[in-house]
Structure 1
Amino acid sequence: MDLVTTFNNLSGTTVKRSALKAILTKAKKQKHTVIANRIQKVLQQNDDLLFDIEIMDFIEPAGLSGAEQRIILPTLEYISEEDSEGLNGVSPDDIYSYITNLIINTIEKVGHLPWQKDWVGSGADGAAKNYVSKKEYTGANFLLNFDIKFDKEGKGYLVPINFIQPYYLTFNQIKETGASLKKDSKARRVIYYTMIFSFDNGTLQFKTTDREKFTEFVKTHGLTKEDLKEHLQKIPVIKYYNVFRADDCTGLKFPEPTGNENVNPIEQAQSLIDGYKDPPTYTFVGDKAYYQPSTDKLNMPNIKAFKKEASYYCTYFHELTHSTGAKKRLNRDMSGTFGSKSYAFEELIAELGAVFMCSESGILFQTKENSAKYLKGWNKVLVNELENDNRFFLKASAQSQKAVNYILGRSTDSEEVETLKESPKKVATKRPGKKKVKTKVTKGKKVGLSASLGVTIDVRKNTQERKKRVVPAVVKNPVRESKKTIASGQNKSLSELEKLGFVSAGSAPQEAKDVFVLGGEIGKFLQKQQPHKALILIKGNKHSSKSQLAMQIANAFGEQQTPVAYIDYEQGGIESKDTVDSINRNTTEAGRKYIAIKGYLENPFEELQGFCKVVKVIIADSVTDLKITADQLNYLRTKYPKIIWCFISQVKENGAMYGGNKMAHNPTSVIHCSSHPDPKQRFATLEKNRGNDLALKYSMYYKKVVNQHKKEKLSFKVK
């Protein structure tokens, strides 16, 4: 069990002091400062030998969510590591907070982002790059173009560097070249990701961050692609290594500049614009620069309206970056108004995109010209969002790099987590300067339920035919039937009733034969279920993670190969970005193979009857948009009694449900989701759960049952 899971599982248990010390030792060894600090604090404040633990805030796993993987990883280097370096490594929050604090401190200290001033560089050769590979640092690592200064309070902030030689090296690379590092030189962080390969088929278990070791494990045991698809979990983990500026070293040899000194940076800037293969319509009227998504039109004032040509091109690059967000291009959310999170995010993407494009064209550290009033308001919104989400800058910088790659026509083959090839090539386990594992993406394979309903969900390509095996629709309870015989002298009236279709209570089994329990934490929460006219109702106000819970329930069925039809009105169906994000956040690769999604039903009542003949589970988000009557629902539940229905219903302020309470007629389970601005504070509780415990509480954010049994007395709380 990994360190984060071990820590989170302490909640609700009684733990010996020695056990906490053991976890503390492990946390320190793996440099997980968040866990180490929290346990250290508890041990220092309490002398108890036994502790009743209630964790108030769970630690997030080291791995990234599916949405974060698609956004962040493409701009980071992948490095295979030796297991001795630790399977879990540094808490990702440490890294996110490190970058976020630098940006916030810079805005507060300098008054604006570090590149919001007129600096003109000597060309793309002036951008920071790795000494050995000569590759420029992209995405969030672009911050290596800026030095870190410290104020009187010791808070770091960024200022542009005037490089002599724009290179960075690790300490080992400095030693290998025979150079030496000047005294008191400060290290900088380069962010990268490594991969945890975790294989478990019930018989074989293997976990490593060393790709070569995993490749050898696959070959030794003759594992097939099908084995890997079924039992391999790959978890990307964000980490960092330290580098030093080449200007702080002595004895290094530098290559001759590769840039063409005859190239005018302004000409280079125009050539980047001209090379955009899928541009919007350009217009050059008036005095305002803007991109209009509805018409896909980009307008620029005349170049003479700008004080400097460089400012003109930087503004042009800003609007070009916006244009990549169009639905037909990279499809970003561009609906936000000033002051909103989505607006702040898109503006930061465009601002960073302009900086990256300026670097490409040899115009470093320019910015579009904004008024002091705008910058003050913009910085206030930006700081607020950075404080609320320490991934905000990292995600924006990654999206910016993706936008620039799109404009420049660069390959996007590496824009997802790398997939294991059939015969992986040998890669070095050392850090910078060695080979990187290239990434490869295959999409669009129809599997499981998706194929039968004609719905395509992006999954890993499978070149082997799936092994055929018979799997029950639900996991049946193993309790044997134990019918009691009817007493010989029973009432004659009862015998007559049996002829009319009644069953004697004396013949009832100890438990219905088709009772089942779903796997995982969802199963612990829902407990025993029976697919007889089953209706699970999920209700709650806005911002209560109802849809997230519904998708997690769908995944639990999918993981045991029970087909699910998911009707998603709220998010707009499978083509919606929100739906894709929801799938990535709330489902596993195994589960989503058996989930098919549709966004709209033209004839709901007729189409639902068709679904009942194909699947075992039908989930609708929401029941109001489904537009069937209570009588029609009752007909469907009666005609198809083995279908499990799950509906989402939004609750009004007065407690009534939209569409009327009639649709909730006789549900077998009622789940209430509490609303809260912070997703971590949203929980599901059971108002009704036929024959089960109602005291359980489930976290949609952490995907687990929390506070399962409340203790009368707690010696302390881990905060």
Structure 2
Amino acid sequence: MKSSTQSDLYQKVTDKILVVLETGTKPWQCPWDNANVNVSSFQLPCNGESGRLYSGVNIMLLWMAQIENGFTQRKWVTFKGARNLGGSVRSGEKATEIILYRPMETEEKDDDGNIVYDENGEPKMKRFAVIRGFYVFNIEQCEGLDEHYEHIEPASEELKFALRPELNALPLKMGVIVQHRPQNQAYYQPSSDVIVMPEQTQFDSAEQYYGVLLHETAHATGHRTRLNRVGITNSDKFSGEKYAFEELIAELTSAFTCAHLGICNTYDQNAAYLDSWIKCLKSDKHAIFRATAAAREATDYLMDIFENEELDLAEAN
């Protein structure tokens, strides 16, 4: 099975995501609020052999394949991985192509081929990435792997409406003030480092509330004292390309963080940006890779704080 070339892969992945966006659907948003598919199965996909979580654009590629095929299991394996686990891929099953992203660096050189040095006399390094495609199968496409299935408990109504103090504490741990007002909009103010939210009682569920709170908290990670993202530190406001790209980063960060925390957020507050995102991806095949890389950095930032907060709560008890 031949994989795409590096040049083709950027365009191929972008085209797959564009097809979904052009239907008015976000491939990163939990779609399974129905009786046929368990909402709890919308988790971060992982390697069925090693247990390692997939990241970046691979999350979306695997989520899209999961939705398209109705898979409820989040584990994926290669042909070899299935054999290593004692099973095999069923004949005729269609593989899903994902991306192996390998960061590299090399010494920077001038036009004459000479190494460029910095002010300390050290060679300047130029960073780049090598990507290649490879193929995986959901474990539901395999025989002999039933013992590796995860039992998925349906999300209870009680859980959907349960408040989670550790999530309320997340922006506070970052030094961000959260204000609640009786209004219909949520937003982050970089100048004052404040998140403004509607009252909790205005949301249909706690999951919906936390989905929106995590979206605004994702914006707050871009503050100059944190990850210093240009869409926050030098924004062109609500109608500009920088802000639209920042909204995409926040959307992805919220989706990835919600999946980490077992929250299915179906609240759609950014449909107006779909056209901007489609235009951005059509004009730059690397854009979705940059957005997912920034979202991964922001997600890691939030999860580090969250896990430390959980540890503090456990020690306090």
Measured against the shorter chain, the TM-score band is 0.7 to 0.9
Question: How big is the shift at 1:359?
Answer: 0.8
Relative to structure 1, the CA distance from residue 296 to residue 255 in structure 2 (aligned partners, 3 Å threshold; closer, same or farther) is same
* CA distances 1:95-114 after superposition (whole Å, capped 9, x unpaired): 22122111111122x22213
- 1:190 counterpart letter in structure 2: I
8 Å Cα contact 1:351-1:367 kept in structure 2: no
Question: How big is the shift at 1:162?
Answer: 4.4
Q: Residue 285 of structure 1: which of 163, 170, 181 is its match? A: 181
Q: What number of residue pairs does the alignment pair up?
A: 279
CA distance in 2, matches of 1:124, 1:136: 15
CA distance in 1, matches of 2:164, 2:12: 33
Aligned to 1:76: none
8 Å Cα contact 2:41-2:152 kept in structure 1: no
Aligned to 1:393: 288
Relative to structure 1, the CA distance from residue 258 to residue 410 in structure 2 (aligned partners, 3 Å threshold; closer, same or farther) is farther
Relative to structure 1, the CA distance from residue 273 to residue 102 in structure 2 (aligned partners, 3 Å threshold; closer, same or farther) is farther
* CA distances 1:209-250 after superposition (whole Å, capped 9, x unpaired): xxxxxxxxxxxxxxxxxxxx7699886412222111100001
* CA distances 1:569-592 after superposition (whole Å, capped 9, x unpaired): xxxxxxxxxxxxxxxxxxxxxxxx
Aligned to 1:102: 16
2:143 corresponds to 1:250: yes
TM-score, normalization by structure 2: 0.76
Aligned to 1:111: 24
Relative to structure 1, the CA distance from residue 174 to residue 345 in structure 2 (aligned partners, 3 Å threshold; closer, same or farther) is same
- 1:254 counterpart letter in structure 2: H
Q: Residue 45 of structure 2: which of 128, 145, 148 is its match? A: 128
Using CA pairs below 8 Å that are at least 6 residues apart, which structure has the higher relative contact order? 2
* CA distances 1:137-180 after superposition (whole Å, capped 9, x unpaired): 222111144244xxxxxxxxx84664342210011112233312
Aligned to 1:360: 260
8 Å Cα contact 1:122-1:362 kept in structure 2: no
TM-score, normalization by structure 1: 0.35
CA distance in 2, matches of 1:233, 1:392: 20
CA distance in 1, matches of 2:282, 2:261: 33
CA distance in 1, matches of 2:103, 2:293: 19
Question: How big is the shift at 1:297?
Answer: 0.6
Aligned to 1:52: none
2:224 corresponds to 1:320: no
Structure 1 residue matching 2:49: 3-state secondary structure? coil
Q: Which structure carries more helix by proportion?
A: 2
Identity %: 29
Relative to structure 1, the CA distance from residue 245 to residue 258 in structure 2 (aligned partners, 3 Å threshold; closer, same or farther) is closer
Give runs of aligned pairs for residues 425-444 of structure 1, distance below 5 A: none
Aligned to 2:83: 175
- 1:184 counterpart letter in structure 2: G
2:190 corresponds to 1:190: no
8 Å Cα contact 1:265-1:361 kept in structure 2: no
8 Å Cα contact 2:27-2:60 kept in structure 1: no
CA distance in 2, matches of 1:117, 1:168: 19
* CA distances 1:13-62 after superposition (whole Å, capped 9, x unpaired): xxxxxxxxxxxxxxxxx98x7xxxxxxxxxxxxxxxxxxxxxxxxxxxxx
Give runs of aligned pairs for residues 203-214 of structure 1, distance below 5 A: none
Relative to structure 1, the CA distance from residue 115 to residue 367 in structure 2 (aligned partners, 3 Å threshold; closer, same or farther) is farther
- 1:314 counterpart letter in structure 2: G
Structure number with larger C-alpha Rg:
1
- 1:307 counterpart letter in structure 2: D
Question: How big is the shift at 1:273?
Answer: 3.8
8 Å Cα contact 2:73-2:150 kept in structure 1: no
8 Å Cα contact 2:98-2:133 kept in structure 1: yes
Aligned to 1:563: none
CA distance in 2, matches of 1:196, 1:355: 28
Question: How big is the shift at 1:117?
Answer: 6.1
2:58 corresponds to 1:141: yes
Relative to structure 1, the CA distance from residue 267 to residue 406 in structure 2 (aligned partners, 3 Å threshold; closer, same or farther) is farther
Question: How big is the shift at 1:268?
Answer: 7.8
8 Å Cα contact 1:106-1:113 kept in structure 2: yes
Aligned to 1:340: 240
Relative to structure 1, the CA distance from residue 300 to residue 368 in structure 2 (aligned partners, 3 Å threshold; closer, same or farther) is same
Structure 2 residue matching 1:243: 3-state secondary structure? strand
Relative to structure 1, the CA distance from residue 395 to residue 161 in structure 2 (aligned partners, 3 Å threshold; closer, same or farther) is farther
Question: How big is the shift at 1:188?
Answer: 1.5
CA distance in 1, matches of 2:124, 2:27: 47
8 Å Cα contact 1:180-1:250 kept in structure 2: yes
CA distance in 2, matches of 1:230, 1:381: 40
Aligned to 1:595: none
Give runs of aligned pairs for residues 276-675 of structure 1, distance below 5 A: 276=171, 277-287=173-183, 288-333=185-230, 334=232, 335-364=235-264, 366-370=265-269, 375=271, 377-409=272-304
Relative to structure 1, the CA distance from residue 403 to residue 161 in structure 2 (aligned partners, 3 Å threshold; closer, same or farther) is farther
Structure 2 residue matching 1:112: 3-state secondary structure? coil
CA distance in 1, matches of 2:304, 2:76: 27
Question: How big is the shift at 1:410?
Answer: 6.2
CA distance in 1, matches of 2:27, 2:104: 36
Question: How big is the shift at 1:118?
Answer: 5.2
8 Å Cα contact 2:176-2:195 kept in structure 1: yes
- 1:99 counterpart letter in structure 2: V
8 Å Cα contact 2:30-2:42 kept in structure 1: no
Question: How big is the shift at 1:289?
Answer: 0.8
CA distance in 2, matches of 1:268, 1:130: 31
8 Å Cα contact 1:193-1:237 kept in structure 2: yes
Question: How big is the shift at 1:361?
Answer: 2.1
8 Å Cα contact 1:124-1:361 kept in structure 2: no
Question: How big is the shift at 1:408?
Answer: 2.0
8 Å Cα contact 2:41-2:73 kept in structure 1: no
- 1:280 counterpart letter in structure 2: V
- 2:225 counterpart letter in structure 1: K
Structure 2 residue matching 1:282: 3-state secondary structure? strand
